[in-house]
Amino acid sequence: MTAHEDWSEQQTRADVTVDGHDLAVAYYEDGPGAEAGNEAETGGDEPPIVFLHGIPTWSFLWRDIAPAIAQDRRTIAPDLLGYGNSSMRDGFDRSIRAQESMLEELLVELDVETASLVAHDIGGGVALRFAAHEPDRVDKLVLSNAVCYDSWPVEFVANLGLPDSAETDDEFESHLDSAFVDGAYGEADPEFVEGMKAPWRSDEGQRSLVRNAVATNTNHTTEIEYGAIEAETLLLWGEDDVMQPIDYAERLTDDLENAAVEPLSEAYHWVPEDRSAAYVDRLRDFLLEPNV
């Protein structure tokens, strides 16, 4: 069994309703109290930690991160709608506005009142919206190379939403290789590359990825009231990223009430993969220490 197949085997599914559509969300869950599905049984008052991925990834992005944090805290890592092993059929919105609704529904389903959020790419846009709309429900916030303001969509994602009808499967896969192989800092781990590409190899998956790309909407981050976010925020950013430059992290520090930038060197956009050990260490320091 491959690493991504093993990850899929560990996932659970929850039913949510978003914009009147009944949809399935696949999620990884581990850590104290995870099987009970009850926040009160996580070993105290500490909130669970929810990991949110971006495009064109899925929760496998957190393969080296979430299990390490689960040694100390309940962790939940969903596949966004239209991604990974969550619903991929046509007929529903996959924008970050809809993903925010999914997150709220999932937290209700899992009896989670308050959580810390760790988010990457468009998952960061979801987390920012949720933290602005529900400030009392977010304990701490970690954003990594996250979409915000008018920083997106980038050309690669926009092009995914404009498929060439004559494009072959090999050409489509080469687009993904350009993201996951060429986008790695140094030599890409084949396990990571294969895992990231796996959900998109079927006809349904390829079509879903196109729908996901089309659903990117800059208005959903330009309209955020950033000053409404109260959570202590760590901007754990791959400093060499050209898709979501660190300048945006520095802008966030001006608009968020309590935020600090921590650059991670030798990391491009896939910072949880490029610097996984350092990423885990910094998450532990930030998330597992008590609020002051």
Instruction: Kindly report the CATH number assigned to the domain that includes residue 58.
Output: 3.40.50.1820
pLDDT band at 111 (very low <50, low <70, confident <90, very high): very high
Please answer whether residues 58 and 269 qualify as being in contact, where contact means their C-beta atoms are separated by less than 8 angstroms.
Answer: no
Paired with 143 in beta bridges are 119, 235
Asked if residue 259 is part of any domain, the answer here is: yes
Asked if residue 235 is part of any domain, the answer here is: yes
Asked if residue 8 is part of any domain, the answer here is: yes
Spatial CB neighbours of 199, under 8 Å, sequence gap ≥ 6: 58, 83, 84, 85, 205, 208
Asked if residue 28 is part of any domain, the answer here is: yes
On the CB side of 255, how many CA atoms lie within 13 Å of its CA? 18
pLDDT band at 169 (very low <50, low <70, confident <90, very high): confident
pLDDT band at 223 (very low <50, low <70, confident <90, very high): very high
- What pLDDT is attached to residue 260? 98
Q: Give the number of domains in the chain.
A: 1
Spatial CB neighbours of 289, under 8 Å, sequence gap ≥ 6: none
Paired with 118 in beta bridges are 51, 142
Quote the CA–CA distance of 117 and 232 in Å, as a whole number.
Answer: 11
One-letter amino acid for residue 201 of the chain: R
Spatial CB neighbours of 13, under 8 Å, sequence gap ≥ 6: 24, 25, 26, 27, 85
Asked if residue 292 is part of any domain, the answer here is: no
* Residue 223, domain extent: 3-287
Using a pLDDT cut of 90, give the percent of the chain over it: 85
